[in-house]
Amino acid sequence: MLTQSDGEAFAKRIKSDVFTLLSKVIDPELGRSVTDLGMITDIEVEPAGFASGEANDLGKPIFDVTVYVELTIEGCPLTATISERINQVLTSYQQAILRPRQEVSSMSQDKLSSLVDQLKAERRANPFTKASSKTRVFAVASGKGGVGKSSVAANLAATFAALGYDTAAIDADIYGFSLPGLFGVHTQPTNLNGMLMPITAWGVKLISIGMFAGAERAILWRGPRLQRSLEQFLSDVWWGEPDVLILDLAPGTGDMAISVAQALPNAEMVIVTTPQPSASDVAVRSGLVALQVPTRVRGVVENMSWYDHNDERLRIFGQGGGQRVSDQLSQALGYSVPLLAQLPLEPPIRTIGEGGRPAVLQENGDLDSGSLTQQFVKLAHDLLAA
């Protein structure tokens, strides 16, 4: 028979067990446990009798457990997820039956500021310049506009994520942003005291100027300076430590790539071109930026290489552009810049993309089994291989 003091001792033990279990509940935005973040302010455990057991045997003891949760911001969109995870932990407890209750409030402004300061200090500005950074950064560039950079960047990012890599993507094209549309994102990032949470869509942590409404856009972006805007994306957004970071650059041959190389010394460039000479000439120039800044051009992707129509392969935009860019850059840079992929012109790339889903993914978020997806999987592996 459980005496009152046994019951109290048991309740104490449950309290400490619950705290330990909650240390495994991760805040989906910050990627840290709710206990680390100071979100659990108290746990109350009250005995509430016994479950009915077999014959003469008493069943498991029952306790009412109240968890006091302080959210980082009021009305945080992920409140339901956090609550659910906390309840799951409580109901999975083996030694007793825990009846979970939660008292939810939001952090005081002071507590929140010191939490954000602490997170920022740990992260030290742009996290990707640290020598210990494990993040592979791939910047998708082209000379000419409209050749498919954003489509390649979006599908590549979605592929990495679906393959299980922790993947982030930055829409560095601040005037012609397109990643929110391609990932179907219509919400604004959470702003935690000046630190922005990227929005996860199709498994990719994303940030784009296109996610901010007019006024906020102006506040966030003081002046249309490219360098500054990229730095803000890198340092004011809570990225955690992704395996892969993809940047979708604006078209052009100069400023942007230089900004990227300065802000991200580890960035590796992927040049996208279409097959015709006019596109490939400019693409070569965009790659030559690697002569001025310490960035490595990893390879070339030729997009819209052909269109398969009734068993006939139509080369609508001519051919040879990708190979030409590869040859010329290899020669100019003094190392191999391979032609990594030739992607067909396929209307679904556009139609599915415009619908808010990268075409390599099925509706359930798994990789599709088509040949286009296989090419993206190969591209992803090739990029990580070297």
Ligand X SMILES: Nc1ncnc2c1ncn2[C@@H]1O[C@H](COP(=O)(O)OP(=O)(O)OP(=O)(O)O)[C@@H](O)[C@H]1O
Specify whether the CB–CB gap between 188 and 216 falls below 8 A: yes
The reply to whether 299 sits near ligand X by the rule CB under 6 A is no
Measured CA distances, 129 to 125, 173, 266 (Å): 9, 21, 7
With binding defined as CB under 6 A, does residue 232 bind ligand X? Answer: no
**Of 135, 142, 150, 342, the one binding Mg ion by CB under 5 A:** 150
Listed ranges 143-151, 159-167, 255-263, 276-284: which one lies at the site for ligand X (CB under 6 A): 143-151
Beta bridge partners of 65: 45, 100
Residues 125, 129, 130, 135: what is their CA dihedral angle, to the nearest 10 degrees?
Answer: 110
Query: Is the Cβ of residue 235 or residue 286 nearer to ligand X in the bound state?
Result: 286
- Please identify which residue in 49, 59, 145, 277 interacts with ligand X, judged by CB under 6 A: 145
In the bound complex, what is the minimum distance in angstroms from residue 373's beta carbon to ligand X? 13
144 is annotated as contributing to ligand binding: yes
> Residue 286, interface with Mg ion (CB under 5 A)?
no
Q: Provide the token pair at 19.
A: 């705290």
Q: Has 287 been labeled as part of a binding site?
A: no
List of residues 6+ apart from 87 with CB closer than 8 A: 100, 102
CB of 35 to Mg ion, least distance (A): 42
CB of 78 to ligand X, least distance (A): 30
In the list ligand X, Mg ion, none, the entry touching 328 (Cβ below 5 to 8 angstroms by class) is: none
Contact between 146 and ligand X (CB under 6 A)? yes
Q: Is 342 in the site for ligand X (CB under 6 A)?
A: no
Least CB distance to ligand X at residue 296 (A): 21
151, interface contact from ligand X, Mg ion, none, CB < 5-8 Å by kind: ligand X
147 is in an annotated binding site: yes
- Site for ligand X (CB under 6 A): which residue of 159, 235, 295, 303? 303
For residue 357, state whether it binds ligand X (rule: CB under 6 A): no
Q: Which is nearer to Mg ion, 25 or 179 (CB)?
A: 179
Q: Which of 191, 269, 303 is nearest to 236 (CA)?
A: 191
In the chain, DSSP assigns E strands to: 40-50, 61-71, 97-106, 136-141, 167-171, 191-192, 195-196, 199-201, 204-208, 244-248, 268-273, 296-302, 307-309, 312-314, 339-342
Give the closest residue to 92 by CA, choosing from 37, 40, 17, 173: 17
Query: Does the protein bind Mg ion through residue 151 (CB under 5 A)?
Result: no
Q: If binding is defined by CB under 5 A, does position 142 make contact with Mg ion?
A: no
CA dist 360 and 142 (Å) reads: 21
Distance CA 126, CA 238 (A): 10
Q: Which helix (H) or strand (E) holds 369?
A: none
List contacts with Mg ion (CB under 5 A): 149-150, 178
* Binding site, annotated residues for ATP: 143-150
List contacts with ligand X (CB under 6 A): 142, 145-151, 173, 176, 178, 251, 303-304, 343, 345-347, 349-350, 353
